[in-house]
Structure 1
Amino acid sequence: MKQYFLWISTFALLGLVSCKSLVEKGDNQFLSGQYHYAISTFGQILQTDSTNLKANQTIAESYRLSNRIEKAEPYYRQVVEQEPTFNNYFFLGQSLKAQQKNAEAKEAFDKAKGYTSDESLLARTQREIEAIKLAEGISDYWPNHVLVNFKELNTQGADYAPVLSEDFLYFTSGRQASGIYAATGTPYHKLFRTRADGLKVDVSGVQALPEFKNEEGLNQAAIAISPDGNTIIYARGNSTSSKDLPDVALFASYFRGAGFTQPIWMPVNEDEYWWNSTPAFSPDGSELYFASNRPGGFGGIDLYKATKLANGDFGNAVNLGPSINTPGNEMFPRPARDGKFFFASDGHPGYGKLDLFVAEKDNTGGMVIKNLGQNFNSKDDDFGIFFTEYPKAGFISSNREGGVGDDDIYFFEDKTPKPKIVNVLLNVYTKESKGEGTPAVLSQARVTLYGSDNKQQGGDFSNAQGRVRFTMAPEQDYTIMASKSGYFSKSIPYTTKGKTPDPKTLVQEVTNVTLDTTIILDQLILEKAIVLDNIYYDLDKAEIRSDAAVELDKLVKILKDNPAIRIELSSHTDSRSSDAYNLDLSQRRAQSAVDYMVSKGVAAERLVAKGYGETQLIIKDAKTEEEHQTNRRTEFKVIEIKE
């Protein structure tokens, strides 16, 4: 990956008077982008003059420009002792940061601020300091994702940027190289593919890209394939030929009938002297995302988006803006179907060099950037995420310590532990009321289970033992309805909350918890009076008291559970006032009860208010207050059952 940072630098080097032949040779190597050889040449000078300013500065810059800034620390330290400038201290800070030497990096950045009054440079330096602080509080975006080096696929060289398309895994590799890239001293990179099914890759079938031939003497990398499989776009550059393009550019190949066309330079590059690389298609193929160092950006390398034009090309490239782009480098974009946007950056708060990030919208519609965390990122370069099963599985690339070679391909999987399953087995027993005796078993009652959303989740008839069994979920609310011809239907609430063990304490994968509940049904007999308990009124008044309302609410529920019945609600008095007064009072009380029930949603036509006064005394010669209370009662009876 590292050579895709590179562009020819015109950094002006200070003149040296010693070792003139080596200096001239090294200068030519550096100015032509042959950083690997420049490091070797100026290294010879340092063997005899370890404090040589030009040699130290050129080696430091060569490491920085070839994306190996972590190796530049000792050389920048020599440079700042002799030539303390903003750039030298700033780059020393970046070298230290890349090694996670955070305290020393902060010190170097602070010193850099003392050598400039440029507001933009001061702001960039402060951003680096703040990023180090913010990195200390990063949490894992997917804490249960596990990263594994794909050792069987990787080689001693570079292997990176895999993408999956039509049962093939395409990736970039330094294997089978025929030349050395002078900037890094590593083999040139080519495009390869092999058969794959998700993370299952045929490592023995790797072959050079068959769609078109890899070119010799340059780098070809970071392939992108359109969702329909008909367009291949990749980065091509770093040629040794002076007749070739001067920088890395995007090339495209199109499927035309029998095969793919020869790759051609894309108009979206716009200028042959601009660096363009790491392409990726939007999920629908209508947009192309890529990285570029073109003018007008926010830093070294920025991410851009181009739209597919009527002729099939991509154009009108737009910078993705300062939420994503920083004064550092952003590359390897990966838009997801759910609107999230993944990319690599060394400018956002991270662990060292390139880290993987995701941009997602917040509650206000703005963009928030999140580091994927330590299970994805390291102090080295981590980049090129691709999902085979979003967001549970896929690949990334990294040159972190412990790998097989240079850049390696890693795969990741969501290893979230499977939750322990708790099943609630509820035995519902249906019984019928037998007056003052023990309720008896009621078989063949229809029992239905409803969830908290009132949707039916099960139902059956009770067996000979009056039992129906339901499987329910823990920590949920339910309603159970029981019904049978000749009986009042009845619903009861039931909750499993607090009735099951904490899954975290369980060992077995599945645990069954058995619970019991009983529903008692009353016989539904026409014209049979049923006394409502605790329906009391204040003396000589008909208004519903709060304690009476509780009992009337129970009757409201009976009517809602039994929508086919019509009832008469009657009120009775004792015999201690005149017949006419008691009759009027009881009628007003009965009507007051009916009005209350109508206010609770019961249709008025289902209710008849009837006051009987003292005409239906239970105890005709009542003498005690308790006997009078027995006569003062409110009853209801079913007067009609609609079919």
Structure 2
Amino acid sequence: MNHKLLYTLIIILTFNFTGNSQEREIASGTKQFNKYAFVDSQKIFLKVAEAGYESSELFSKLGDAFYYNADYSEAQTWYDKLVEKYPSEVTPDQYFRYAQALRANKEYDKSVEMISRYKDMMNTEDANYYNGSSAEVRTGYVNGTYEIEKLNVNSVGYSDFAPSFYGEQILFASTRDTGSMSTRIHKWNNQPFLDLYSANVENDGQVRQATKLKGSVNTEFHESTAVLSADGNTLYFTRNNFTKDQYRSDSKRTNKLKLYKSIRDKNGEFGVASELPFNSDSFSTAHPALSPDGKVLYFASDRDGTFGESDIWKVTVDESGNYSSPENLGTSVNTPGRETFPFVDNNGKLYFSTDGRGGLGGLDVYSFDSEKNEITNLGEPINSTSDDFTFIYNTESETGYFASNRANDPLDDDIYQFIRTACESRVTILVVDKATGEPLNKSLVGVRDLDNELLVSGETESPNASYLFENPSCDADYFVRAEKEGYSTAEKLINVPKESSDVTVVIELEPAITTIPPDFDLGKLINPIYFDFDKSNIRSDAAVELAKIIEVLKEYPELRIDVRSHTDSRGVDAYNLSLSERRNQSTINYIIEKGGIAKERLSGRGYGETELLNKCSNGVKCSEEDHQLNRRSEFIVQDY
């Protein structure tokens, strides 16, 4: 492809690079769970697990506990066990958190696999949330969507690329043969050399006819990637190292690229070009871009100090037209790959193409916000699995152009026009008490992307405990997390549609118990304890639940509990009373023997069917679920 000629005229190297995952900001402090909020949940669950008990709930709670505390290594350990032993019980959110833990531990391939499972369970079709080690290439990641159309001015079988704003026209590079008697053919790709062409832009944004740029800019060698100064009188462009009719090369006989400047004469044509002083015969300097005020000139180069195959550099331009020493933009922009084809819009945002990040394939277009130090992949449809480059954008009309070889032979680039449709969505977050529905003003809210990066945060405001997340990305997923002292932390996945939308999400927080009140039933904190039919021995699933009660008793050495066992109404009353008594004694003995709990801290008896919680008494037809409410074990806290 001819745009690759403009990197080097001999060999194009390919370079695969996977970016390191970024560190995540996680809210500090112990995040206690809904049910075990009055104790250190990690400590209790960890002790139960270390005692050899296993359950999906145990592993998921431990994984979540360590995840929320940013201990991703421990979180991965427990998510590993959860996914391996209880795959059918893993929730989408747990797959998501597992993937994040894996990414933090640099297990990128497995992380991608878990994200795939998450997306399958969520029924999402977008396959670009994760690509290698980066989530930068999501479709619709930027605010807004793009509609693209190939320009009619493209020549079939030839390369057309590097569009540039040229007053009311556009300027671009092409290998087309405009009918000269003698056409020079480049040996590398058997195409004519590049020249600069201008063309009128019609009302529909289309460009249908082109004329070779008049004046002295075009030569018998390559000219391309030009930028016009704001006053329209100076043209910077790229050319082979060909100055004053002399064709120069480096020690390896490679002809490098250089930047040139041409001034418009009184006839409106650009005169003989002069090369810029920071060029060299030993490296390439190419693809100019100007800041809106014309005081900074950006370009691509592989000069000494370059991190990869080529980097984005800049120089300042003073009022006399003098240039500062070239400055590398650094690792915020540049990678060990190839950064090239810069452009700066009217707001000062830098755009460029690179193959050094986790993109869709080939060169992808990225933007760089220097104030936020933020890199953004523009996503589809601007980017594709082919090379996408020489992106330019008019911020006022929200239209622009770029080049790509997505539809052609790799040597045949085409120019596309695009229009950006802005997404003006808003997300209103409401935080309420789950039990009462009352708004929880001054709750802390954080919005995170799927990389778990904290995007915005703040407090909910009166009167309805609302927080407004403005300017979210179109067609994007976010995790919204809410927390408040005295309540358990909760989060919810939300999706912002492609179209402009007002999205409202309600997060319900459960009150956290900070002390254990008298008469509180610890049985509410565990899953039901089941016994086999007509049996009173402790089953393995019941042992996991009793292990939690044991750990609470160990955590609170002064705590005393009264164990109460109940049955449903089915069967003979006297038999149910006797059965519940045997089960009660079996439960107490297990806690004493397995947990090492002093006998005097425990009391209890069986109540049979004497304390039903509903209407399901003898002779009343009830569902199994209704009967289950009555078959329960209670662990009532006594004064301590």
Do the structures match in fold with TM over 0.5? no
Q: Which has the higher contact order (CA 8 A, sep 6+)?
A: 2
Q: TM-score range by the shorter chain?
A: 0.3 to 0.5
Point out the structure with max Rg over C-alpha. Answer: 1
Q: TM-score, normalised by structure 1?
A: 0.43
